[in-house]
């Protein structure tokens, strides 16, 4: 990017990853999390998945503007449930760093206003005990990004930015749907085995012949508990498509989210949700 500049970083997340806070003041930190440098001996990737969007199968989707940098293994336990449950491994992912093979005619970039929202809300959700992806950093790129903020045809230049998101895994429900839609049963099984051994270690035994049923029960339980926590604080995700839901029971993909100010079951922050499918009152049923 043109001129990466660190705007925000989470000292708590940096510490959880095993880094000294002073690392955030280095040029290396800004260049890597601004997408200009690659971590030594790493191979960044974008994930391919499918999904149901507003109840309709959308086919192949994928990370259109998210690029994973690496997985970090930590040696100390943090305070969050996410850390303890997932054996201290974290995937670092840049949102807004540019095009991927799945960008689908988009530019792969993100604007500062939405990046600030994601950084602040994900860290807030963590602070109040709601399972969530985390935010490590927010870097302003120095590049202009052109967006139609209100979908009314008035496109304007905005400041570009990149958020480094952190989670044990960014696998989604749609990660399983895509190979299933192609008749690739072995692919579904292999992905499920990976997810069980990688993110449900200690809860599900990898060699248990009933592991898939046990895993599914755990996914259902975590998802139900997550939605209950959303409801309890008035959080409205806004786009509960299957490509935006995590089998780990984490809040993922902060897009058109919002919070209730008064009790309004029909409230949705998503301007495209004319049917109110993902309104506050419908979240438990979705």
Region of residue 18 (left: phi > 0; alpha: psi -120 to 50; beta: else): left
Residue 20 catalytic? no
Q: What are 92's strand-pairing partners?
A: 70, 166
The token pair at 220 is 């259902």
Helix/strand/coil for 66? strand
- How far is residue 63's CA from residue 52's CA, in Å, rounded to a whole number? 15
CA distance 230 to 219: 16
| 240 in Cβ contact with 227 (< 8 Å) | no
| Catalytic one of 63, 85, 199, 243 | 243
Asked whether the beta carbons of 72 and 90 are under 8 A apart, the reply is yes
Nearest to 243 by CA among 40, 62, 35: 62
Strand partners, 73: 89
CA 135, CA 194: separation in Å to the nearest integer?
Answer: 25
Q: How far apart are CA 230 and CA 250, in angstroms?
A: 11
For the annotated catalytic residues, the residue numbers are 243
């Amino acid at each position: 990017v043109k001129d990466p500049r660190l705007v925000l970083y989470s000292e708590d997340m940096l510490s959880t990853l095993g880094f000294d806070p002073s690392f955030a003041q280095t040029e290396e930190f800004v260049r890597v999390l601004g997408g200009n440098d690659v971590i030594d001996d790493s191979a960044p990737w974008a994930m391919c998945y499918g999904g149901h969007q507003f109840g309709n199968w959308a086919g192949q989707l994928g990370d259109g503007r998210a690029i994973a940098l690496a997985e970090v293994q930590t040696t100390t336990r943090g305070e969050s449930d996410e850390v303890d449950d997932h054996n201290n491994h974290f995937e670092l992912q840049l949102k807004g760093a540019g095009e991927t093979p799945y960008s689908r005619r988009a530019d792969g970039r993100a604007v500062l206003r939405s990046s600030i929202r994601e950084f602040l809300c994900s860290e807030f959700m963590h602070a109040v005990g709601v399972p969530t992806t985390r935010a490590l950093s927010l870097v302003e790129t120095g590049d202009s990004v052109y967006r139609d903020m209100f979908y009314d045809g008035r496109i304007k230049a905005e400041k570009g930015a990149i958020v480094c998101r952190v989670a044990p895994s960014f696998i989604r429900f749609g990660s399983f749907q895509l190979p299933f839609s192609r008749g690739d049963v072995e692919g579904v099984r292999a992905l499920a085995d990976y997810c069980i051994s990688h993110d449900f270690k200690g809860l599900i035994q990898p060699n248990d012949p009933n592991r898939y049923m046990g895993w599914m029960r755990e996914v259902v339980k975590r998802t139900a508990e997550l939605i209950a926590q959303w409801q309890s604080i008035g959080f409205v995700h806004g786009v509960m498509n299957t490509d935006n839901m995590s089998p780990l029971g984490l809040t993922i993909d902060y897009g058109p989210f919002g919070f209730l100010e008064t009790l309004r079951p029909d409230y949705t922050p998503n301007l495209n949700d004319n049917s109110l499918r993902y309104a506050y009152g419908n979240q438990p049923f979705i």
